[in-house]
Every structure is written in C-alpha cells, then in structure tokens.
Amino acid sequence: MSTLTGKLLRIKLNDATYGEEEIPQRHTTRFISARGVGAIYLYDELAPGVDPLSPANKLLLLIGALGGTGLQGFSKWAVMSKSPLTGTIFRSISGGNFGVWMKHAGYDLIILEGKAAAPMYIHIDTSGVHFLDASDLWGLDYRQLQAQLREKHGDRTESASIGPAGENLIRYAVIHSGERTASRGGMGTVMGSKNLKAVSINVPTKKPSPFDPAAYKELIKIQVGILKEHPRKQTMTTLGTPYITKIVNMMGILPTKNYQEGSIATIEDLSGDQFLKLKKARAGCYSCMTRCGGMREVMQGPFGGSQIDGPEYETIFAFGPLVGLSDRQFVIDANALCDAYGIDTISTGVCIAFACELFARGIISSADADGLKLTWGNQEALFSLIEKIGKREGFGRLLGEGVKRAAEQLGSGAAAVAMHIKGLELPGYEPRGVKGYALSMATSNIGGSHMYGRPREEFSGQADPLVETGKGDLIARVQKEQALEDSLIACTFGNTGLDAAMYARLLLAATGINDFGNDANLLDIGERIVCIERCFNVREGFDRKDDTLPKRMRQEPLQQAGPATNQMVSHLEHLLDEYYQALGYTADGIPGIKRLQELDLPEAVEDIKTHTPPSDSISPGRNDQS
Ligand code: SF4
C-alpha cells in the first residue's frame, strides 16, 4: 500500500485516445511526485525549442504523494508545462479539489498532449475517459462552466478549466478548480491552445492507503497538535494573506506605481484588519484546518452581488498601490473580474501599471489605449482595461501579451518600465528592499516568481534584508526547500511548523520507500528538481544573462520606501557568483557535470556537455559589474 498511485493517464487530444502507464520507480525515488516528477517528464518528453502554444507542448496535471489524505494542507495540485510567457519550464499550484479527485480516479499525473480539432472537454468517470464536444461551453466563465458540468455529470464533479481569456490565448490565463486557480505562467493559455475547455472528474471517493496506517495516523495527530498551537496558523486563519500588506509596507517593499516607490501612506485602508471586516465566511482547500481564504462581496462586474474567495495579498498589491490605489472594494471587484475572464491578477495588475507609467511618461496616449485615460488610480479606466485584456480586444490585445512582449512591440523606451524577469511579471515584493529575495527571483527557473524560494530570514530579522553579500548559500537552500515542498505539495501557509525531518517521517509512513526516510536525501531531491529545471532551460538557451532583474532595480534608487529608500541591487553579479558556487554551477550559471553526476542526473549530462567548456570550471567568481 502507498499513498502514491504510481500511475499516470496520458490523453492524446489529436486522435481522442488515452492510456494508463506506470510511473517508473526511478522517477519516484529521485523526484518524489508533483513538481519533481513533472519536471523530469517535461525534460524527457519536450524537445528543445517547442513553441509553448503549439500542439507539441504538453500540459501536466499533478497531485503530491501526501495529497488526498488526512494530512492538513497537502492537497493542492500543480499544473506544469513550457510557459508561453517565459519559454522556460513552469509550474503553477492551485487549491480546490481537482487534484484529490485525480487521486480518487487512480492517477498521480495526467499528461495532455496534442490539440483537439474543435473545442473539447474531457470527462473521467468509472467507465473511462470521454472526449466531449465543448462548443456550447466555449465562452463561459468558470462558475457557469462548473454549474453546467455538474448538471451534465453529477453534483460531485470537480474540474480544471479555463475561462474566455484562455480561449483567447491571453498569455497569462489561469486554470480554475472550484474558486481557486493555478494562476501564474499562462498554464490556462496552454490549455486554450489545445482547444481544451476543461478536464472534469466524477468518480467514487477512494482514499489513498498509507504503507503504515498506524504510523501515518500518529503523525497527522502530531501535525494537528502543532497547528493548533501555532500563532502563524491563527493569523492565517483569521486574516489570511492580507495580513502581509502592513509588514511589506513597513519594510518599504510594497511595490507602488509600477515599482517606482516602496510604500504608501494610506496602508491602513489595505490592512488585514480592514479586509477582515469585509469577510463574510471562511474558505479553504481540501483537508486544511488553516482555511486561510475568505469570502467577500463583489459590487460590480459579472460577479456583482455574489461573493468571491479573495483577495489574496498578491491581488491587493496588484490592484492597490501598484496602480496608485488603496480602495479595498476596487481590489475585490478587480479580482472578481479577472476571475470571470480567467486571468492572473498579478500579471494583469503589472501590465496595467506598465500602461499607466507609459501614459504618465507620454510614451502612449489615450488614442493608443482605445480612448482610456490611464492616469494612476483611474478606477473606471483600469476596470475597462481588465475587460479589454480578458476579451483580447483593442489595447487589451497588446497587454495580453505580457509586459515583455508588449514593450518589444511598443519600442520608444517602453522596455525600461516593463517589470518582469524572464518574461514573468514581478510579484508583490520590491526586490531592492530584500536582496536575498531579489537573488531568488533573478535566478528562479520560472522567472519573476515569489514562490520559487522565499528567504523567511529576511522577514523575521534573522538576516538583514538590505545586505547584498553572503546570500548565495541562503537562496540555494530556500530554493531546494521550496522544490521539496512543491514535490509533496505542501502548502506554504498550511504546512506551518513542519520541516524536512517531519516530511521524511511522513513520506516513509505513507509510501514505505526507505530512501524518503532521510531528510538529507530529501533536500538532495529538492536540489535535483531545481537542477533538472535549470537543465531544461539551458537547452532552451537560458544562462547567466537571463538571471537578472529589471534595470530599474539595478540602477534606479527606490523612492518612498522607509528603511529601503534609495536602495538598489548594486551587486547582483557578486550574488550570482555566490549562488552558482553554492549549487556547483559554472560561471555562466550552467550545472557542472560533476554536480549532475552527484545528483544522479545522467540524462542531463550529455545535453549539458554541449553547453559547458571542457574544463567544467565551476564558478570562480566574477568582478562585480552590475
Ligand atoms: S492554508 Fe489556505 S491555501 Fe493553503 S491549503 Fe489551507 S486553505 Fe489552501
């Protein structure tokens, strides 16, 4: 018995066929599950240079080894593919029940390949996989769609689906499960490019059976005890992620007016306490006692008069200070509008802030923006712009390409205000005020993500966030830890109080795989995942030149940022050297052959040899010149 099913379902959309396969034990022991197993499948099966929006790209849906059990905060699921925003390997994680239903259906992984000839959805039930016409579902938002799927296939149907923006190939479209989304990197865009509206599942509950049920049950008891006492869990349950706004404002890292400033005077308006007053009910994911979500009422747009689960901190920053606002209701309404179209709130907010700064600098005018006056904080214009993006209409068509491509098309200095890393719009943490976090974002193999390795030490006072040296080891470690957690999938907010030693005990009891019972081995698995993701990117032409930050972060002093005022990331090259040395990469940011062999990644050795000088020289350090 094991909580892993050991099985994948491969669905070929071109000819509407499917088959089950065993996931090789060697994949499991080297990568565990979820992000790890997804990374090795993408490395093995995607030829370099594949267009992310072509039928040759693949979309992977994954649930972790401990998902669907009674463990708290481990039942989220992941989507992986080559991203149409970044051209890198990508993973995006969602709440909702879909992943658990995958496990009930008997799969740790679903691989979707090819492209349907016409709009289609997949339904999985006890009789198999059904390829169904989605022409009457095309254009529906996720709520309309979920209602129809439940009407057709039963009340217990859970789905992963796209909205109109995914159909319209907006490059940052999301995938919905219930009220939650796999938001980042355009995973919904890849699904739309395959003419696939949804994957739905309705099968009887089949809970995974742990290898050692008694030991596993005891560990869950320990976890529940830890959670009950933990202050962080209490904060998350009461306030959810909106509690973050005041902390980042105090640190001067709340991105304001397109990352020109780092704090706002009206922060009380966006505090966790103020959002708590608007909370109508608690919300959360499968098997999670933290339940960090909150239902709040929407006033305008297609969901006006109903409630949504949100907003999270990342949406508050994106439709608050980033666009010159601190209006709570606008944040909620903008959140709901993005959900209705199925677009990522972070990328949408950053694209709109980009447009506002272009407007302020006279690089674009109202005439370029369909008559919209894109002044900071102009709620009516910003709301219209979200709709235009979702519909891929007028100026929204350009912004729907993401800031990197939009700036390339606009020219005229637009690139200087396009805030992205490797094409992924930046998240809600100003890199100039958290230098280790800046390094983590710069080196992230999925671009400008806040979830590729978060140095908590810079937030807790254990490490000075403004110091720029000695952070390479820290970031290498937190990226490995994040990869390990994503391979389980442990929710960042729901797994409070657990560490690698506890993961080892849990995995051993759940799967009976002895290799998992050693926490040092688990951290090696985390490093192996980061490394194979980097190897994927190296094959695509990525190297040190791509591990960077927008010029603004390196050359413009941050304004109005409290303790971070006048900060820049001045020594990025030095930080990169430290980071590469910590991971055994060359000075060009490419994994060294020796480290690949130590990490048992023979499949990458030959590929990487073609990118590495014969001496395999490990990063000797470079003069700082950033
Ligand atoms: S803490 Fe929040 S996001 Fe995480 S699993 Fe629980 S409800 Fe979901």
**Closest Cα to residue 178, out of 295, 301, 348?**
295
- For ligand 1, mutation pick of 288, 289, 312, 314 (most atoms within 8 Å of CB): 288
pLDDT tens digits along 132-159: 999 999 999 999 999 999 999 999 999 9
Do 507 and 52 contact (CB within 8 A), yes or no? no
**Ligand 1 centre and the CA of 497: distance in Å?**
14
Task: Judge whether residue 399 has pLDDT over 60.
Answer: yes
Q: Quick check: 620 pLDDT over 70?
A: no
Class of domain 235-425: mainly alpha
> Do the domains at 235-425 and 431-496+518-578 have one common CATH topology?
no
Residues 6 or more apart from 378 whose CB is under 8 A from it?
372
| Of the candidates 424, 428, 429, the residue with the CA atom closest to the CA atom of residue 447 | 424
Split at pLDDT 50, 70, 90, the class of 613 is low
d(CA 534, CA 137): 38
**pLDDT tier for residue 622 given thresholds of 50, 70 and 90:** very low
User: How far does residue 288's CA lie from ligand 1's centre (Å)?
Assistant: 6
Strand partners, 11: 18, 112
| Ligand 1 geometric centre to CA of 447 (Å) | 24
| Ligand 1 centroid, distance to 342 Cα (angstroms) | 20
Which pLDDT score, from 0 to 100, does residue 497 have?
86
Q: Specify the DSSP class assigned to residue 485.
A: H
Pick the CATH number of 431-496+518-578 from 2.40.50.180, 3.30.465.10, 1.10.599.10, 2.40.50.140: 1.10.599.10
Mutate to test the pocket of ligand 1, among 290, 315, 485 (most ligand atoms within 8 A of CB): 290
Minimum CA distance residue for ligand 1 atom 2 = 292
The predicted structure's pLDDT at residue 605: 96
Q: What is the 3-state secondary structure (H, E, C) of 156-223?
A: CCEEEECCHHHHCCCCCECEEECCEEECHHHHHHHHHHCCEEEEEECCCCCCCCCCCHHHHHHHHHHH
List, in order, residues 6 or more apart from 515 with CB less than 8 Å away. Answer: 29, 521
Is pLDDT at 614 greater than 60 in this prediction? Answer: no
pLDDT band at 619 (very low <50, low <70, confident <90, very high): low
CA–CA distances in Å: residue 295 to residues 177, 282, 614? 16, 6, 58
Question: pLDDT tens digits, residue range 239-248?
Answer: 999 999 999 9
Spacing, Cα 490 to ligand 1 middle (Å)? 9
Centroid of ligand 1 to alpha carbon of 339 (angstroms): 18
Hey, whose CA ends up nearest to atom 8 of ligand 1?
285
Q: Which of 496, 499, 444, 433 lies closest to 475 in space, CA to CA? A: 444
Q: Whose CA is nearest to atom 1 of ligand 1?
A: 494
Mutate to test the pocket of ligand 1, among 227, 230, 236, 292 (most ligand atoms within 8 A of CB): 292
> Taking CA 124 as the corner, what is the angle to CA 156 and CA 56, rounded to the nearest 5 degrees?
130
Indicate the class that CATH gives domain 7-201: alpha beta
- 282 C-alpha to center of ligand 1: Å? 11
Ligand 1 centroid – CA 290 distance (Å): 6
Checking if the pLDDT of 13 tops 50, the result is yes
> 112: closest CA among 160, 73, 157?
160
Q: What is the pTM of this model?
A: 0.97
Torsion of CA 306, 307, 310, 311, to 10 degrees: 50
Pocket test residue of 77, 92, 230, 291 for ligand 1, highest count of atoms within 8 A of CB: 291
> Could you identify the atom of ligand 1 that is nearest to the CA of residue 494?
1
625 burial level (CB within 10 Å; 0-12, 13-18, 19+): exposed
Would you kindly state where each structural domain of the chain is located, as residue ranges? Answer: 7-201, 235-425, 431-496+518-578
Each residue's pLDDT tens digit, 29-49: 999 999 999 999 999 999 999
Instruction: Give the distance from CA 114 to its chain's centroid.
Output: 24
623: confidence class by pLDDT, cuts 50, 70, 90 = very low
- By percentage, how much of the chain surpasses pLDDT 70? 98
- For ligand 1, atom 5: residue with the closest CA: 73
Q: Which atom of ligand 1 is nearest to the CA of 236?
A: 1
Distance 435 CA to ligand 1 centre (A): 28
Best mutation site among 491, 492, 498 for ligand 1, i.e. most ligand atoms within 8 A of its Cβ? Answer: 491
Centre of ligand 1 from the C-alpha of residue 96, in Å: 9
Average pLDDT over the chain, rounded to an integer: 96
pLDDT single digits (tens) 401-435: 999 999 999 998 999 999 999 999 999 999 999 99
Residue 151 burial by Cβ neighbours in a 10 Å radius (0-12, 13-18, 19+): exposed
How open is the CA angle 547-553-554, to the nearest 5 degrees? 75
pLDDT tens per residue across span 476-531? 999 999 999 999 999 988 788 899 999 999 999 999 999 999 999 999 999 999 99
Instruction: Render pLDDT for 558-605 as a digit per residue (tens, 0 to 9).
Output: 999 999 999 999 999 999 999 999 999 999 999 999 999 999 999 999
- Spacing, Cα 243 to ligand 1 middle (Å): 15
Of 613 and 53, the structure prediction assigns the larger pLDDT to 53
What residues does ligand 1 touch, defined as CB less than 6 Å away? 73, 76, 95, 236, 284-285, 288, 290-293, 491, 493-494
